[in-house]
Structure 1
Amino acid sequence: MAPTDTATPPSSQSSTSGPDTSTLTSTPSAPQSAPSDLPSGTLGGDTQNTGERITIGLFIAVPFVALLAAIPVAWMGGMLSWLDVTLAVVMYLIAGHGITVGFHRHFTHRAFKANRPTKIAMAISGSMAIEGPVIRWVADHRRHHKYADKEGDPHSPWRYGNNVPALIKGMFFAHMGWMFDVEQTDQRKFAPDLLKDKDIRLVSRLFPLWVAISLLLPPIVGGLATWSWQGALTAFFWATLVRVGLLHHVTWSINSICHAIGERPFESRDKSGNVWWLAVLSMGESWHNLHHADPTSARHGVLKGQIDSSARVIKILERFGWVWDARWPSAERIEGKRVDDYGGEKTLVAP
């Protein structure tokens, strides 16, 4: 069982030292009381039952099998069309940026403000990534930042120790194993602002509807566009199953891979690192070291050449006037967070 979200974090550490793995295996403290007058943001509340765990398992396993089968299926030919590719890419970008721009940078860290239609659209599009209801996702991630790589972190790869067997076990746990914990993050403690927001609470509770739309929209479009069952089937395989599987594992890789390897040019109290080869697929989220050094920054890829499409989306929304007060990092702020002996590129990306 993962540590409870009420554990008291140990003293902070420099990003240049390994995490105190002894705290990650200690007995968690008893839960503290949370405000009881707030409604739940999910239908299942804060405790996961057997049915939910089975459902999570299916939503992990089936798209993953499809992802593994994608290469041989494409190699055989006749099972992949330009319509399938287009649907898959469009759905990936909509749901993916819903997670990175909406769930992460807006709802979790308040890196910018948004008007009501944009706020609702981001919550719905992020829900279509099928990574859980928005309020539960935000509560988990805020808890992660509070206890990053220490006791209380819901998905640290260092929880079992820092030798090779322990790290392998920890990497699996950080990647997907943590989602099967019976005890869930207390939404009333970590996301009370979202629970008080009637729009977001409704979107969160309607998560099954957004899942159904995400699963069924590609085959409906594919079937109608080709007027055939084969068009619907191939669209479901590529733009639903493969797309969901790829997006899941890219997102989870930020939890696992980006907390185990990568460059660390900025000072942070955990083991977050920059992993360049995940940057495009993660829409800029894999510049994870800067994010943990400056969590409210609207841009994560702040050095020259660091692709961050999520920051570009925020910039576009800002130009339309749909979002404002974006926390674009200044050169002085970023330089102040650098590790003194880091010899990497000094050029910053303009806000």
Structure 2
Amino acid sequence: MTIQAGEERAGAAALPDPSADAATRLSATRGGEKQGLAERIALALFILVPFAALVAAVPVAWGWGLGWTDLAVTVAMYFLTCHGITVGYHRYFTHGAFKASRPMRLVLAIVGSLAVEGPLVRWVADHRKHHRFSDKDGDPHSPWRYGESVPALIKGLWWAHMGWMFDEEQTPQLKYAPDLVRDPAMRRISRLFWLWTTISLLLPALVGGLVSLEWEGALSAFFWGSLVRVALLHHVTWSINSICHAVGRRPFRSRDRSGNVWWLAVLSCGESWHNLHHADPTSARHGVLRGQIDSSARLIRWFELAGWVREVRWPDAQRIAARRAA
């Protein structure tokens, strides 16, 4: 993959420019390429607290019920932030599936950050490295890391799903996301990840409190619209790394084991049509076959019609046919 010409297209990795100043050689988030103990503890808390809420969701819903306000806030926040990841972080910033206006570029970066899946530059660098070494040595999160036996695959699925995030060695951001590291606005948004996380967690509580005019309403909306929503989105996203590289149909030729997992399509906003994505990473649509729901592609199409994005890389019949598996 190569970076496309023009400042508004997100591209793939390139080697760092030797003339880059010292500031751009630092991490776009904290200034280093090794993850410290404090960062790993913070990461564990961000994973475990929402997960505990997800586990508690069933008995809470059974005992106290789930109000319409909670449901509306949770669904709205889930699909807003899910598309922030799929359309923004993934298809635009990582793969350059379309060009975006400068205001749209900023919106996609911020909305993607509200998913609480990590700073923009870090996320993009990790994913570009994944594509460069997909299911081979160097892939940050392949489920085949430890081998192909059943015990090895079980261990690998855990690694691919979430274990890899605690690895001390981090992806060099300047090497894999030089376009974002050298963009002052993107660096700033990436460094303000703590702010977007705070907004993402407090917004549901604010809406719930304003609608109910009670603290109980704010607390309930926080539980469902913040904690449960974040945990569900995290595990759906991580399932693309783990499940979709271990099982699923493979109608297209790719150099890895990416597969299509239909039952994740709606919750993943179209990302689980993963085989086509690895066969044609810059395609704006992942669900290209009949009946494959891809809400992210539909949203990109609406943005295109509105004039907010352009030069969208839509797959045509010839391109799809060329990638068909024998």
> For this structure pair, what is the TM-score category when the shorter chain's length is used for normalisation?
over 0.9
Where does residue 40 of structure 2 map in the other structure?
53
Where does residue 7 of structure 1 map in the other structure?
none
Among candidates 299, 303, 322, match of residue 317 of structure 1: 303
Structure 1 residue 101: Cα displacement: 0.1
Deviations 1:149-199 (A, max 9, x none): 000000000000000000000000000000001111000000001111121
Residue 68, structure 1, aligned to residue 55, structure 2: yes
- Counterpart residue identity of residue 208, structure 2: G
Structure 1 residues 211 and 158 mapped into 2: Cα distance closer, same or farther (>3 Å)? same
| Secondary structure of 1:269's aligned partner | coil
Residue 196, structure 1, aligned to residue 182, structure 2: yes
- Counterpart residue identity of residue 201, structure 1: R
Give ranges in structure 2 of 5+ residues lacking alignment: 1-14
Structure 1 residue 117: Cα displacement: 1.0
Among candidates 101, 109, 114, match of residue 128 of structure 1: 114
| Secondary structure of 2:104's aligned partner | helix
Among candidates 151, 154, 158, match of residue 168 of structure 1: 154
Counterparts of 2:102 and 2:62 in 1: how far apart (Å)? 45
Structure 1 residue 76: Cα displacement: 1.3
Structure 1 residue 33: Cα displacement: 8.4
Counterparts of 2:118 and 2:62 in 1: how far apart (Å)? 33
Q: Percent identity?
A: 66
Among candidates 224, 229, 237, match of residue 251 of structure 1: 237
Counterparts of 1:226 and 1:47 in 2: how far apart (Å)? 45
Among candidates 170, 193, 199, match of residue 207 of structure 1: 193
Counterparts of 1:315 and 1:33 in 2: how far apart (Å)? 33
Structure 1 residues 196 and 185 mapped into 2: Cα distance closer, same or farther (>3 Å)? same
Counterparts of 2:32 and 2:45 in 1: how far apart (Å)? 20
- Counterpart residue identity of residue 251, structure 1: T
Counterparts of 1:90 and 1:117 in 2: how far apart (Å)? 22
Residues 1-351 of structure 1: pairs in structure 2 closer than 5 A: 35=18, 37=21, 38=24, 39-78=26-65, 80-340=66-326
| Secondary structure of 1:42's aligned partner | coil
Structure 1 residues 95 and 112 mapped into 2: Cα distance closer, same or farther (>3 Å)? same
Counterparts of 2:292 and 2:39 in 1: how far apart (Å)? 38
Counterparts of 1:273 and 1:237 in 2: how far apart (Å)? 33
Structure 1 residue 45: Cα displacement: 3.0
RMSD: 1.3
- Counterpart residue identity of residue 58, structure 1: L
How many aligned residue pairs are there?
Answer: 308
- Counterpart residue identity of residue 88, structure 2: G
Q: More helix per residue: 1 or 2?
A: 2
Runs of 4+ in 1 over 4 A off after TM superposition: 32-36
Counterparts of 2:109 and 2:272 in 1: how far apart (Å)? 21
Counterparts of 2:52 and 2:272 in 1: how far apart (Å)? 24
| Secondary structure of 1:51's aligned partner | helix
| Secondary structure of 1:74's aligned partner | helix
Counterparts of 2:213 and 2:31 in 1: how far apart (Å)? 39
- Counterpart residue identity of residue 138, structure 1: V
Structure 1 residue 88: Cα displacement: 0.6
| Secondary structure of 2:287's aligned partner | coil
User: Does structure 1 retain, via aligned residues, the 8 Å contact 2:16–2:178?
Assistant: no
| Secondary structure of 1:304's aligned partner | coil
Structure 1 residue 43: Cα displacement: 2.3
| Secondary structure of 2:263's aligned partner | helix
Counterparts of 2:44 and 2:198 in 1: how far apart (Å)? 17
